[in-house]
Structure 1
């Protein structure tokens, strides 16, 4: 009886071990589809940003810094007003030598939210409508 139980456990262990492909999922490389989707988000956001008239000339790299920070702030429950305030979030889309009008800042936030954290888009639009900015 003990030999039978040991044999069953050994067979089950071998079967479970053979199910593994030996690769840790944390080491998995992003798929082409995931890479293409990220590039698409950047491309669409930058296309929207390039339609805006800036005071100065921000680089694409500078513009791409904002959406992830906006998403973090929105996920933390902060408002668009808070994000754009100097004393609050300090996430107004401007650099050392460039800036945007407030209406253009709203356009960038809507585009960035739509592309990078669409789960927050309805709330952002609602806040901007309530403030008269959208």
Structure 2
């Protein structure tokens, strides 16, 4: 038993000693790819930094960006999206809500991640209204 353990340790040390001067990395080795962060994760990261009145779930928060993108693609304004008489797409639920400035932050983040083709227009509208 002892001889087996000693032999295994020796083999392991021998293998460890076979590394090149680059500390075990091969010169032709490609770096491992970095973790890709999804659009949803990037949007939720911003959402989690916002103070809400209540506690929306991630599922609740993720319902809005696709609807915002549809409205923007249809030519509607941010003001229209947030109005009750218009789009009714203000980021709020039955037991949660947020301030208008935070709603703007969510819309910018959601647009950036889910329909970046509309981002410049959204920012322009918010700047013109003094909200961004």
Alignment TM-score, normalising by the size of structure 1: 0.71
CA distance in 1, matches of 2:67, 2:98: 17
The number of equivalent residue pairs is 98
Structure 1 residue runs of 4 or more that deviate by more than 4 Å after TM superposition: none
Aligned ranges 1:1-134 → 2 under 5 Å? 40-134=38-132
Residues 42-65 of structure 1 deviation map (CA, whole Å, 9 limit, x = unaligned): 000000000000000000000000
* Bigger Rg, structure 1 or 2: 2
Task: Select the structure that is richer in helix.
Answer: 1
Alpha-carbon separation, structure 1, partners of 2:53 and 2:128: 27
TM-score (norm 2): 0.72
* Superposition deviation, residue 115 in structure 1: 0.1
What 5-or-longer segments of structure 1 have no aligned partner? Answer: 1-35
Partner in structure 2 of residue 14 of structure 1: none
Instruction: Work out the CA distance in 1 between the residues paired with 2:98 and 2:108.
Output: 14
1:76 Cα deviation from its structure 2 partner: 0.1
In structure 2, distance between residues paired with 1:91 and 1:42:
18
For structure 2, list consecutive stretches of 5 or more residues without a partner in the other structure: 1-34
Shift of 1:108: 0.1
Deviation at 1:85, TM superposition (A): 0.1
